[in-house]
Amino acid sequence: MGYKYSKGSQVIGDLKAADDTQRDTLIDFGEDQIDFQTSGSTRMQINNTGVDVQGDLSVAGDIVGPETNHLYIKSEQNIYAVLDTDSNNGSYFVVRGNGASSVWLVGEDGRVNHGSSDTPRNSYTLRHDASDGNNGMIIMNNSTSVTTDTLLGAIGFDSNDGLEPSSVLEASAYIAGYAAENHGTSDKGGYLTFGTSKINDDDDTVSTEHMRIESEGVIQASGMPGYILAYRSWSNTADENVVITSGTVQYIEGGTNGKANITFVAPPTGNVELELHVYIEQASPGANLLMALSTDGSSWATQAASYHRVFDGDETDDGVITVKWVLTGLTAGSSYTYYFGALTTSSNGITLRWGDGGLSSTQYSPLIMKATTLPSSIS
């Protein structure tokens, strides 16, 4: 085979192949490019923008890099694998494993199939056999020193309308996994959080967590009606009590526990039910009891619309009562503290009692305070 090499239109000389056949290949050293062209249809051009191949280019044998059995491709810019674009998905970029079976391929439409030679039918398909080592995808935090609440990884869902989030936690919706303890060979506790952007949230801002699955399986979802936002139970080994007097509302307060109160973070619905459960005792027949709420823990100031008559005893009707209040229009995500107070308008006397609910006949049930999420719509 004979070869000619030239510069521009000037033929400089011949390169002779071993068999010296008459089929020539022209090597053209132009000003900006080098052309390799056989007398057939195959042509390869190397210029200052890259390498262009017209026709089919095949290589007999192996292509290896600076080390045996390795191929290295290095570029300071992009490396492209261009497939045909006739949309029949009949051209692939393929990675093969042992036995020449395809393990990863990209169709000409950009869809990816991972785990077999099947034609990709969605943006990304991961195929497995459900065995250990081949049953899914793991997102790993590559640190070797993971502490409690460290982000292990996340999946975000967003759109190309507006800025693309730089953090998964800024996505319009996300699922994130965290370490529930310092990790090690015997400690792998974790928890999941679910979050979304709220209506009118800007791009590039951290989304709001709405639900959490703790390491022990407890689900926290403050936006779900019925979710308990806060719960307190005063169970003293000895009887604790407060004598309710007439005149003004007073704090329900014991010598051991202090003022009865509950603190919670308002749910997305903005509506909360507060509940107080306590034992009531009349000193004599005809007593009554009123209860109210206050946000002031130092000097009682009755919360509007929280003052209710909750008990009237025509006899000495002792027993446990449960009183509830409905709060609406709270600011979601804000913390609130409410104090419980009581008043009697009679002179017959009322005593509120609580204890540990023991077997002794002198023990009383606990004083219980609870805050629960209510639905957005209350009729």
Residues 103 and 210 in one domain: no
Q: Select from 281, 293, 351 the least CA-distant residue to 325.
A: 293
pLDDT digits (tens, 9 = 90+) for 136-146: 999 999 999 99
Under the banding of pLDDT at 50, 70 and 90, the label for residue 189 is: very high
Q: For the chain, give me the number of helices (H) and strands (E)?
A: 0, 28
Looking at the chain, how many residues does it have? 379
**Any idea what the CATH number is for the domain that residue 261 is in?**
2.60.120
Q: Is residue 99 helix, strand or coil?
A: helix
Residues 205 and 235 in one domain: no
| Sign of the CA dihedral running 121, 107, 139, 166 | negative
Give, as one character, the DSSP assignment of residue 125. E
| 182 occurs within a structural domain | yes
Q: Indicate the range of 24-33, 89-98, 250-259 predicted with least confidence.
A: 24-33
CB < 8 Å & 24+ apart, contacts of 161-164:
162/203, 163/203, 163/204
Residues 366 and 278 in one domain: yes
Which residues, listed in sequence order, are joined to residue 125 by a DSSP beta bridge?
113
Residues 244 and 365 in one domain: yes
Under the banding of pLDDT at 50, 70 and 90, the label for residue 29 is: very low
Residues 167 and 203 in one domain: yes
| 313 occurs within a structural domain | yes
Q: Select from 305, 334, 336, 308 the least CA-distant residue to 321.
A: 308
Strand order in the sheet with 102-107: 92-96, 102-107, 112-114, 124-126
- Higher-confidence position of 205 and 2: 205
* Predicted local confidence at residue 152, as pLDDT: 97
Instruction: Report residue 225 as tokens.
Output: 């009606």
Q: What is the largest CA-CA distance in the chain?
A: 127
d(CA 366, CA 356): 6
Residues 234 and 366 in one domain: yes
Under the banding of pLDDT at 50, 70 and 90, the label for residue 1 is: very low
Q: DSSP labels for 13-62?
A: EEEE-SS--S-EEEEEE-SSEEEEEESSS-EEEEETTEEEEES----SS-
Count of CB atoms situated within 10 Å of the CB of 275: 17
- Higher-confidence position of 289 and 55: 289
Q: Select from 183, 201, 181, 199 the least CA-distant residue to 191.
A: 181
| 360 occurs within a structural domain | yes
pLDDT digits (tens, 9 = 90+) for 200-235: 999 999 998 888 999 999 888 888 899 999 999 998
Q: What is the mean pLDDT of residues 254-272?
A: 93
Give, as one character, the DSSP assignment of residue 169. G
| 237 occurs within a structural domain | yes
Residue 369's domain comprises: 228-373
| 378 occurs within a structural domain | no
Residues 232 and 362 in one domain: yes
Give, as one character, the DSSP assignment of residue 245. -
Residues 327 and 233 in one domain: yes
Residues 360 and 282 in one domain: yes
Q: How many domains does the chain have?
A: 4
Q: Indicate the range of 79-83, 185-189, 256-260, 350-354 predicted with least confidence.
A: 79-83
- 190-199 burial, b at 16+ Cβ within 10 Å, e below that, comes to bbbbebbbee
d(CA 255, CA 125): 65
d(CA 246, CA 344): 5
Residues 29 and 155 in one domain: no
| 143 occurs within a structural domain | no
At residue 105, what are phi and psi to the nearest 5 degrees?
Answer: -150, 155
pLDDT digits (tens, 9 = 90+) for 3-18: 444 455 555 555 444 4
Residues 328 and 360 in one domain: yes
pLDDT digits (tens, 9 = 90+) for 151-165: 999 999 999 999 999
Residues 55 and 165 in one domain: no
d(CA 44, CA 54): 6
| 279 occurs within a structural domain | yes
| 141 occurs within a structural domain | no
Q: Select from 51, 50, 54 the least CA-distant residue to 37.
A: 54
Q: Select from 52, 12, 54 the least CA-distant residue to 29.
A: 12
User: Which of 159, 186, 220 is where one domain is finished?
Assistant: 220
- The dihedral over CA atoms of 88, 89, 90, 92, expressed in degrees to the nearest 10, equals 160
- 21-36 burial, b at 16+ Cβ within 10 Å, e below that, comes to eeeebeebeeeeeebb
